[in-house]
Amino acid sequence: MLPEAFQQRMRLMMGEEYEDFLKTFGEERYHALRLNPLKKDQEGHTVLEKYRDGNMTGFAHLTEVPWACGGYYYKGEDQPGKHPFHDAGLYYIQEPSAMVPVTLLEACLGERVLDLCAAPGGKSTQIGAAMQGKGILICNEINAARAKILSENVERMGICNACVTNETPERLAEFFPGYFHRILVDAPCSGEGMFRKNEAACQEWSPENVELCAGRQDGILDCAARMLCPGGRLVYSTCTFAPEENEGSIGRFLQRHGDFEILPVDEEKLGFGADRYPVRFNFIDNISGLEHTLRIWPHRVKGEGHFAAVLRKTGSLREDLIKGGGQVQIRHSAAGGAVKGIAEKEAEGLEEFCRENIRLPADFRSGGLFSGIGQAVGMGEAVKGIRFGGHIYLVPGEMPSLKGLKVLRPCLHLGEIRKNRFEPSHALALVLPPEYGAHIWNLKAEDALTAAYLKGQTFPAQGEKGWYLVCIEGFTMGWGKLAGGIMKNHYPRGLRRRDFMNFIS
């Protein structure tokens, strides 16, 4: 049951299209996933290259989402969340309209990018895929529980250059004034666009909550404005229909920030029709450009309701960044200078592990151990290792100090030093291409051993003693350690699947 006040407002907004709009709430919603171009199989093919035609093992034929690279619609009976490809990070299940804001962000290799309201991680991992490990991606979430989920999804999708923080926008703005080239604000909102997907959002809706969300959005946008560098790009998005939270938020923002302008959204390039609004309307007097924002209506496209606006801060952005070329040379002293690295002699256990279990080409090692790992996982050689307690992480070489911030994940977790030995992390397995593994154990999606592995069980195996990259259809999924004819399971306890046999059966 839709709230009466919501229906009254939408009837005024929609005019003669209201009945078509209303019908969508009784129809089945569209399902989509986004293939992960960062994952490569044993032959060096990415997921996107291997399954571009939509024929993925265990799925009905996938059809493309026109506005997102790697986006595909799937059929509801496919149940991709129970497929082993999900655990291996081959795709992210994401509402199709929610893929639009990152497409509009146009993140490039080598940039400094912020996803300010990032949980659960769909948009962060989409940004990370576009950046291909080059540059610095800060993914922030104010809610601690949701920040943990964000961190897990960043790890599962193999985003190696993403730092996950659990901070307020105000706190981040103190640390990073004028620092980022691009910022995404997927703002917390009243969630009207998700009524068909989430019944709780409908039950919790009220006009008062709409006003509360609009006020919160003003504060978040002000913080984002402080953190964007001159010439930078800011994308604001919501999953609501409320004018106060959409055109209203952008209109109020432009009144407070005269150094920003709206950039037109090319809806035809995205695959939308020319008419975005059933009725043309402007909510703020004397604010031009609001007609260039984007509304996604569920009765017009295969997706839920969304809003997006692209803003630019006045000033000049370096030409090489606009074209996406080169590694950024950061001269910013945010948060007290650069992260302190660790000398390679402090990571002797990691050195020994790599020598025995990772096959890095000789030219990769010319810049040192961390440079070699950085090249192997796609970050490039401009990286360094840092130590958090007994844990070793790999970060971009120009990563600023994050001292004083709540950091859940500095970047790529390599592993842990335990009693003078090194134990690799699950994150390293997910990001490491199989071609660099000294030992590989490949499983099939329908194989009962796959179910056993994801449940945390050991299984009989014959081969050379040592650490193995356990793969699914050629894509890395985790670690195993073979000794005495038994593959010891190193799949993390917190990720083990009790329901996996549902897929096998």
Instruction: Kindly list the catalytic residues.
Output: 239
Helices and strands of the chain, counted as H and E runs: 18, 22
| Rounded Cα gap, residues 372 and 230, in angstroms | 34
**Tokens 């024929």 appear where?**
55
CB 424 within 8 A of CB 479: yes
| Rounded Cα gap, residues 306 and 323, in angstroms | 28
For 198, other C-beta atoms within 10 Å of its C-beta total 14
CB 101 within 8 A of CB 113: no
Tell me, what DSSP letter sits at residue 62? P
N-terminal to C-terminal alpha carbon distance within the chain? 37
CB 91 within 8 A of CB 36: yes
| Rounded Cα gap, residues 490 and 458, in angstroms | 9
| Rounded Cα gap, residues 202 and 191, in angstroms | 8
| Rounded Cα gap, residues 320 and 158, in angstroms | 26
What does the DSSP assignment read for 223-247? HHHHHEEEEEEEEEEES---GGGTH
**Tokens 């265990």 appear where?**
58
Instruction: Tell the burial category of 293 from Cβ atoms under 10 Å away from its Cβ (0-12, 13-18, 19+).
Output: buried
**Ramachandran region of residue 136, left (φ > 0), alpha (ψ -120 to 50) or beta?**
beta
| Rounded Cα gap, residues 137 and 162, in angstroms | 5
Buried b (16+ CB within 10 A) or exposed e, 12-50: ebbeebbeebeebeeeebbbbbbbbebbbbbeeebbbeb
Note every long-range contact of 268-277, with CB atoms under 8 Å and residues 24 or more positions apart, other chains counting.
Answer: 270/66, 270/67, 270/100, 270/103, 270/294, 271/66, 271/67, 272/67, 272/296, 272/300, 272/301, 273/300
